[in-house]
Chain A
């Protein structure tokens, strides 16, 4: 059960444990989402935290430019409170910690790049950046990402949340064939 193996230097190291049952994980994630609704009256999110950091960064570099832009100023607030005291930002810091704890307990912390066998690390990282940029842009256009709009909006039966979720799957399946070399 406790799977240890020896590496090339003869040191004992733990093998990563397999991922948990997806239905069990989904139930757990559903309870966390429910807790957010019951305690806070709001759901989960992720992209909003990055937007806050970006808006604060732009304001530091070019305050007048940020003030003139309705997108940035929405995240900066009216100046009465620190924009970094943001619910989603604290939640995402928690995600970072929670992900690390789970990974550490299951021996899954590893400096590596996840990719298919037929693609170089460099190509994979270019794809990761391009995909990330598309997602950053798209999550702002749609007013949420997979967590904030699909998951949260899905649970509260929001029409926009469900339309968005189906579109995400549609967009993914539409281009999957063209980038298959990256994964398969």
Chain B
């Protein structure tokens, strides 16, 4: 049965080897996608290159469908897959702030690692910024703790929230992703013409 780690197919020390291998794949994919380059990432927010949306939604849909089918054929116990609790207000505020940091800084934590690995000074400085931001958060934590732990809705998924069946929700997300891809392709051509620049 999967997930293998939860059924003790291997121990903690080997899980760190797995982490390293999965990380290599993750970093490789991010670099292939152009995500080691802040200009490609930032372009998402000016509509002339929508790679962030395309890669993100394709990977979410791929993993989501995989989880759905592996559960359906009975190879995966989905209840053992970690789903973090929802803290709705801190996560919305954090998301807005993180999105602003994305456009200002040009990366997110994972992509800045790839950027630094491929020699970009801005990626390295960005990582220094992340460290600083986490220290600030850590030092302010006694003040923030109440807000940080507020509005805990528990282990809630979209299935629970919308009251739809799992299959219907998965189907709707696939449809939404296809719609987003069509809009992204159209938007890129439209804004490329308007801004007088090609899609990189």
Chain A residues engaging chain B, CB cutoff 8 angstroms: 19-20, 22-23, 25-47, 50-51, 53-55, 58, 69-72, 85, 87-88, 90-103, 106, 108-116, 121, 124-125, 127-147, 149-151, 153-176, 179-180, 182-184
With A96-B116, A147-B109 known as contacts, the answer to whether A70 contacts B141 (CB < 8 A) is yes
Contact with A along B43-68 (1 / 0, CB 8 A): 11110000100111111111110110
Whether B46 lies near A158 (C-beta < 8 A) is: no
Whether A113 lies near B5 (C-beta < 8 A) is: no
Say yes or no for B74: interface residue by CB 8 A criterion. no
Whether A101 lies near B28 (C-beta < 8 A) is: yes
Say yes or no for B142: interface residue by CB 8 A criterion. yes
Whether A160 lies near B108 (C-beta < 8 A) is: no
Of A101, A128, A158, A172, which one neighbours B45 at CB under 8 angstroms? Answer: A172
Report chain B residues within 8 Å CB of A172.
Answer: 44-45, 99-100, 102-103
Chain B residues engaging chain A, CB cutoff 8 angstroms: 2-6, 12-13, 15-34, 36-40, 42-46, 51, 54-64, 66-67, 70, 76, 80-88, 90-123, 125-138, 141-142, 144-145, 148, 153, 156-161, 169, 173, 181, 195
Q: How many A-B contacts at CB < 8 Å in the complex?
A: 519
With A99-B28, A114-B115, A141-B97 known as contacts, the answer to whether A133 contacts B130 (CB < 8 A) is yes
A128 to B26, CA, bound (A): 23
A36 to B119, CA, bound (A): 28
A38-B66, A95-B27 given; name 18 further pairs at CB < 8 Å: A33-B62, A33-B63, A35-B22, A38-B70, A50-B127, A51-B134, A54-B131, A58-B135, A97-B24, A98-B26, A100-B117, A103-B117, A131-B107, A132-B128, A141-B90, A149-B91, A155-B63, A158-B157
Whether B102 lies near A171 (C-beta < 8 A) is: yes
Whether A143 lies near B90 (C-beta < 8 A) is: yes
Whether A170 lies near B96 (C-beta < 8 A) is: yes
Of B29, B33, B87, B142, which one neighbours A160 at CB under 8 angstroms? Answer: B87
Whether A102 lies near B32 (C-beta < 8 A) is: yes
A54 to B59, CA, bound (A): 30
Of A34, A110, A164, which one neighbours B119 at CB under 8 angstroms? Answer: A110
Report chain B residues within 8 Å CB of A40.
Answer: 3-5, 15, 18-19, 22
